[in-house]
Structure 1
C-alpha cells in the first residue's frame, strides 16, 4: 500500500517542481483561441471552452487528437492540425492568459528559501519557456522542462525523476505542486510529495478526490512546516 504524506507529516522540502498550465498561469484562453483558429482553417466545427478545460493537461498531441475526434475530423488531418497548432500557438502564446492570484507572491516566497526550483509541464518546452518569460515568471526557476524534453510525459513518473536529477534532489524531498490528477499520479509514482491547487484544470473532476498532502486556493498559502 502506497503512503501519501499529509500536511501534518510532510517531509521538509529540498527542492520544488511546479506545473505550469492551471497551476501558475490560467492559459485556457490561449488554448481556446489557438484551437478556434486551427479548426476554422481546417474547415471543422469549433470545440467549446468546457471541452478544452476538460481535455488540457496531457500534452498538445493529446489535445489536438481529442479535438479532431470530437468534431469528426479525419485522423489523417492530425499532421496538418499539429503544424497549424504550433504556428498559431507561437503567435498567440500568453495573449489570452493570466497569472493566477497569489502565484507571484508564492514563487517569491519559495525562491527566498534558496532551494532549487523547476517548472515541469506537458506543454512543448519552447512554448513553456516563452510563456514564463512573457509573464515574468522565468526568473524563479533553475530549470524549465516541457513535454518534448523527455521520452514520456506526466502522468508517467519519468519527467519528475529526470527533473529531480537536474535539481540534484531526492524525489522524497522534492515537492511537486500541480493542479491535476496527472501531476499527482506522476508524483506518487516518482515518490515525490504532492501539493495540489484547487483552481486549475483537473479534467472536470474534483481535485480534493485526488490524494495530496495539501490543497491550496492560492500558491502563497503553501504551508512549509
Structure 2
C-alpha cells in the first residue's frame, strides 16, 4: 500500500461542530414552535447532510426523510440562517488536527475534504477556520449527484488528484466514511473520538484515538 493522498471527512473527524449544529437546529425548531432537543439527540442525527438533519430534527426521528413538505422547507430555511450566521461560534478542531494537517501539507502530500455537509457551509467553515488552502480538492454533500456512502465522491477526488483509488487514504469517523472507502476500494482509518459508534464492527483498516496517530499508520 502506497498512500499518495489523504481524504478527510469534516464533522466528527477534523472538527467538533456539534455545539453549533445543535444550536442552529434548536433555533430552527424554536422558530417553528417546537421544544429544544438534547445535544446528544441532535448528534445522533448528524452524518447524512443538512436536509436529512433537518428532517430528523423536526420529527425527532432517525427514520425521517426530507420530502419537501412546507414544514421541512421552513425548517431548512431557518436552519440555514442560524447555522450560516454562526458556523464557528463553538466549533473547534480536535486535538492535534491543525498541527497534523500543517505537517502533511508541508510534506507535499495532497489533501482533500470529502464531506456530506453542503458546500454552502463547508467552504466558509474551512475559510473561517483558516485551513481552506490546505486542501487540493473539496467535495461537499451537494457537489456531485451522490454523496457518501457512495464511492463517487472518492472516485471523483482520486481522479482530480491524478491517483489510483487504492493509493488514497480515507479518514473518517462514521459508517458512511467506511462504506464509501470500501465501495471505492480505498484504504481507510477511523477516528475514535467522533460521532460514530460501534467502530470495531465497521471493519476499518485501523482505528486511531488521536489525530496525529495518522503518522504511525502512514509509516507502517
TM-score w.r.t. structure 2 length?
0.92
Shift of 1:166: 1.4
Alignment partners' CA distance in 1, 2:205 and 2:103: 19
Does structure 2 retain, via aligned residues, the 8 Å contact 1:15–1:115?
yes
Residue 176 (1) aligns with residue 178 (2): no
RMSD: 1.6
Alignment partners' CA distance in 1, 2:99 and 2:41: 31
Alignment partners' CA distance in 1, 2:31 and 2:58: 13
For residues 124-203 of structure 1, the aligned pairs below 5 Å read 124-202=118-196
Residue 100 (1) aligns with residue 94 (2): yes
Alignment partners' CA distance in 2, 1:207 and 1:137: 27
Tell me the secondary structure at the aligned position of residue 60 of structure 2. helix
TM-score w.r.t. structure 1 length?
0.90
Cα-to-partner distance string for 1:61-105 (whole Å, 9 max, x where unaligned): 111111122179x95301111111111111011112111001012
Displaced runs of 4+ in structure 1, greater than 4 A? Answer: none
Higher relative contact order (CA 8 A, sep 6+): 1
Gaps of 5+ in 1: 1-10
Residue 36 (1) aligns with residue 26 (2): yes
Shift of 1:126: 2.5
Alignment partners' CA distance in 2, 1:115 and 1:165: 16
For residues 9-28 of structure 1, the aligned pairs below 5 Å read 11-28=1-18
